[in-house]
């Protein structure tokens, strides 16, 4: 048996190797602990971001419900605006008729006044002649200078004038009574006109309030959408950064693991215990990678859900087509007359303001400050000034049909906005010596066509 001194020599020789082995394992353990600490910190940050994403997904679901409610309210406001605009146009037509009726009554009153003045003059001349004859007694008349036959003729003429005077007096009484009745009718019509004008102002104010409410709802939806998208984008960017950090840490950990495993394998050749420790460390590392893979998959699933929530939210906002949007009719008829008035120039007629050019649409003369509505359902492709036409509005009804309206004083529609038939889109000028003119054009596949047959339901009213 070896002596104790030999064992001591052997142990002394193995001491440096044992110390190196212990330091290797200590270094490996410290490195693994550092890597795990960094990865754990990044994982905790990722979990926090994922929780924030989950909260925002819940908020997105609530916003989707709010967006649906806003869209329903906007559709209700749009429908009410159509009704109020139609009422405004009816009041405009009634006021125009009342103004024409008052003008006719005034002309008739002037004629009666002229007739009464003329008849009063004739009656006054006849009465003056009778008064002069009444001054002379019958004998004096017979003895007056001149022929007796002339005196007799004068007396006969005066006797014939008396019945005529009575008829004139009766006519004057009738005309006076007619004049009084006409004045009463004029006062009544003026009161009615004043009341209709007041109603028109009330309806126009209500229309302005509805338009402001619709704009406020759309602005609220757009602002809420922008805020949510910004927060979701920020959180998604943070998640991406954290995933990159974790991936970098994993790559570094993988490199370090391979180096340490090489040292561990060299040390394991000398000690079975080192082998067992290395295997346990490897199993722990695999479990950690599995946990990280699950975290990555959950983060990707959360991101996909956030994208789907954003898509659902965008689909619910007012920029999408209304659910009751109609297709453009295949046959003429069915379009709403944009304003009330009379046609002054038809399709193909000589343009009244452009010398040498034919009109590619129709020109409608309206009353001042007349309400203008959309002729049919569609999307506003352009709204604003354009060359010599001033303010114009182009509505795309489908891929083939477009309507163009020009001559506005004010536009209430914006590009990209969806409008329904009869929905208010602007108003005409309310100042100037002449009534404003609205230019209406309809194009099919880019070519102008006569819009009047398509506005058949209101054609008679427009030409009248």
Q: What percent of the chain has pLDDT over 70?
A: 77
Same domain for 262 and 116: yes
How would residue 224 be classed by pLDDT, with cut points 50, 70 and 90?
Answer: confident
45 compared with 286, residue with greater pLDDT = 286
Residue 327 lies in a domain: no
Same domain for 172 and 141: yes
Q: Which of 320, 355, 374 is the last residue of a domain?
A: 320
Predicted local distance difference test score (pLDDT) of residue 3: 53
Check pLDDT > 70 for residue 337.
yes
Max mean pLDDT range (71-75, 162-166, 180-184)? 180-184
Predicted local distance difference test score (pLDDT) of residue 445: 92
Check pLDDT > 60 for residue 424.
yes
Residues near 295 by beta carbon (within 8 Å), at least 6 away in sequence: 43, 46, 47
Same domain for 287 and 241: yes
Mean pLDDT of 336-356: 88
Predicted local distance difference test score (pLDDT) of residue 61: 81
Structure-token match 């330091």, residue found:
23
Check pLDDT > 90 for residue 44.
no
Predicted local distance difference test score (pLDDT) of residue 135: 58
220 compared with 206, residue with greater pLDDT = 206
Check pLDDT > 70 for residue 94.
yes
Least confident of 139-153, 237-251, 410-424: 139-153
**Helix or strand holding residue 240 (H, E):** helix 148-268
Same domain for 360 and 288: no
Same domain for 389 and 258: no
76 compared with 122, residue with greater pLDDT = 76
Residues near 81 by beta carbon (within 8 Å), at least 6 away in sequence: 207, 210, 211, 214, 423, 424
pLDDT in tens, 296-318: 898 888 888 777 756 555 544 44
Residue 333 lies in a domain: no
Predicted local distance difference test score (pLDDT) of residue 409: 96
Q: Which residues pair with 380 in a beta bridge?
A: 395
In order of 212, 402, 439, the CA distances from 344 in angstroms are 34, 22, 10
Same domain for 293 and 219: yes
Predicted local distance difference test score (pLDDT) of residue 342: 93
> What is the total count of domains within the chain?
2
Distance of alpha carbon 21 from alpha carbon 419, whole angstroms: 81
Check pLDDT > 80 for residue 145.
no
How would residue 338 be classed by pLDDT, with cut points 50, 70 and 90?
Answer: very high
Same domain for 347 and 313: no
Max mean pLDDT range (88-102, 119-133, 162-176, 228-242)? 88-102
Residue 1 lies in a domain: no
Residue 336 lies in a domain: no
Q: Which two tokens stand for residue 391?
A: 């303010």
How would residue 134 be classed by pLDDT, with cut points 50, 70 and 90?
Answer: low
Check pLDDT > 80 for residue 64.
no
Same domain for 358 and 263: no
Mean pLDDT of 150-178: 73
Same domain for 309 and 206: yes
Residues 94, 79, 199: CA angle, nearest 5 degrees = 30
Predicted local distance difference test score (pLDDT) of residue 120: 75
Question: Around Cβ 110, how many Cβ atoms within 10 Å?
Answer: 10
Query: Helices 148-268 and 272-316 sit at what angle, rounded to 10 degrees?
Result: 170
Predicted local distance difference test score (pLDDT) of residue 150: 60
Residue 325 lies in a domain: no
Least confident of 51-65, 120-134, 378-392: 120-134
Least confident of 30-44, 242-256, 415-429: 30-44
For the chain, the residue count is 464
SS3 381: strand
Mean pLDDT of 458-462: 46
Same domain for 134 and 252: yes
Residue 331 lies in a domain: no
Same domain for 347 and 314: no
Predicted local distance difference test score (pLDDT) of residue 157: 62
Same domain for 300 and 348: no
Mean pLDDT of 197-209: 88
Residues 233, 238, 242: CA angle, nearest 5 degrees = 150
145 compared with 111, residue with greater pLDDT = 111
Check pLDDT > 50 for residue 273.
yes
138 compared with 418, residue with greater pLDDT = 418
Predicted local distance difference test score (pLDDT) of residue 462: 47
SS3 452: coil
Mean pLDDT of 284-302: 89
Number of H helices, E strands in the chain: 5, 11
Residue 2 lies in a domain: no
Question: What is the pLDDT of the chain when averaged over all its residues?
Answer: 80
Give the CATH number of the domain where residue 445 resides: 2.70.70.10
State which residues form the domain around 366. Answer: 341-463
Mean pLDDT of 341-365: 88
Predicted local distance difference test score (pLDDT) of residue 460: 42
pLDDT in tens, 1-15: 555 444 444 545 545
Predicted local distance difference test score (pLDDT) of residue 461: 47
Check pLDDT > 80 for residue 60.
no
How would residue 459 be classed by pLDDT, with cut points 50, 70 and 90?
Answer: very low
Residue 209 lies in a domain: yes
Please report, to the nearest 10 degrees, the dihedral formed by the alpha carbons of residues 188, 191, 193, 199 taken in order: -140
């Amino acid at each position: 048996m070896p002596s104790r001194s030999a064992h001591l020599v052997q142990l002394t020789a193995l001491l440096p190797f044992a110390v190196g082995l212990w330091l290797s394992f200590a270094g490996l353990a410290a490195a693994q602990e550092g890597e795990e600490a960094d990865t754990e910190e990044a994982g905790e940050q990722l979990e926090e971001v994922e929780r924030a994403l989950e909260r925002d997904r819940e908020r997105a679901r609530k916003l989707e419900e709010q967006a649906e409610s806003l869209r329903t309210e906007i559709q209700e406001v749009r429908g009410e605006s159509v009704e109020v605009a139609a009422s405004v146009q009816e009041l405009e037509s009634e006021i125009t008729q009342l103004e024409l009726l008052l003008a006719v009554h005034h002309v008739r009153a002037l004629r009666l006044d002229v007739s009464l003045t003329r008849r009063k003059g004739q009656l006054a001349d006849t009465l003056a002649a009778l008064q002069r004859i009444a001054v002379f007694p019958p004998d004096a008349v017979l003895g007056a200078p001149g022929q007796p036959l002339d005196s007799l003729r004068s007396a006969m003429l005066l006797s014939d004038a008396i019945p005529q005077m009575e008829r004139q007096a009766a006519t004057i009484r009738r005309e006076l009574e007619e004049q009084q009745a006409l004045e009463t009718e004029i006062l009544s019509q003026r009161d009615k006109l004043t009341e209709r004008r007041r109603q028109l102002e009330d309806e126009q104010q209500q229309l302005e309030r509805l338009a402001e409410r619709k704009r406020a709802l759309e602005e609220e939806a757009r602002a809420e959408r922008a805020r949510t998208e910004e927060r979701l984008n920020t959180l998604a960017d943070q998640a991406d950064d954290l995933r990159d950090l974790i991936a970098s840490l994993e790559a570094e950990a993988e490199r370090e693991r391979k180096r340490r495993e090489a040292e561990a394998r060299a040390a394991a050749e000398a000690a079975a215990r080192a082998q067992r420790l290395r295997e346990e460390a490897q199993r722990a590392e695999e479990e950690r990678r599995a946990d990280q893979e699950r975290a990555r998959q959950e983060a990707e699933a959360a991101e996909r859900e956030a994208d789907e929530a954003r898509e659902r939210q965008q689909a619910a906002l007012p920029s999408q087509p209304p659910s009751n949007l109609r297709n453009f009719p295949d046959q003429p008829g069915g379009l709403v007359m944009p304003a009330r008035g009379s046609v002054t120039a038809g399709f193909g007629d000589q343009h009244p303001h452009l010398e040498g050019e034919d009109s590619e649409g129709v020109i409608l003369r309206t009353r001042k400050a007349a309400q203008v509505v959309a002729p049919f359902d569609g999307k506003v492709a352009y709204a604003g000034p354009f060359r010599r036409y001033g303010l114009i509005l182009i509505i795309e009804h489908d891929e083939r049909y477009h309507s163009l309206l020009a001559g506005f004083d004010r536009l209430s529609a914006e590009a990209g906005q969806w409008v329904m038939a009869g929905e208010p889109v602007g108003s005409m000028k309310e100042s100037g010596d002449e009534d404003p003119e609205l230019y209406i054009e309809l194009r099919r596949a880019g070519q102008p066509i006569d819009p009047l047959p398509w506005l058949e339901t209101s054609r008679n009213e427009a030409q009248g």
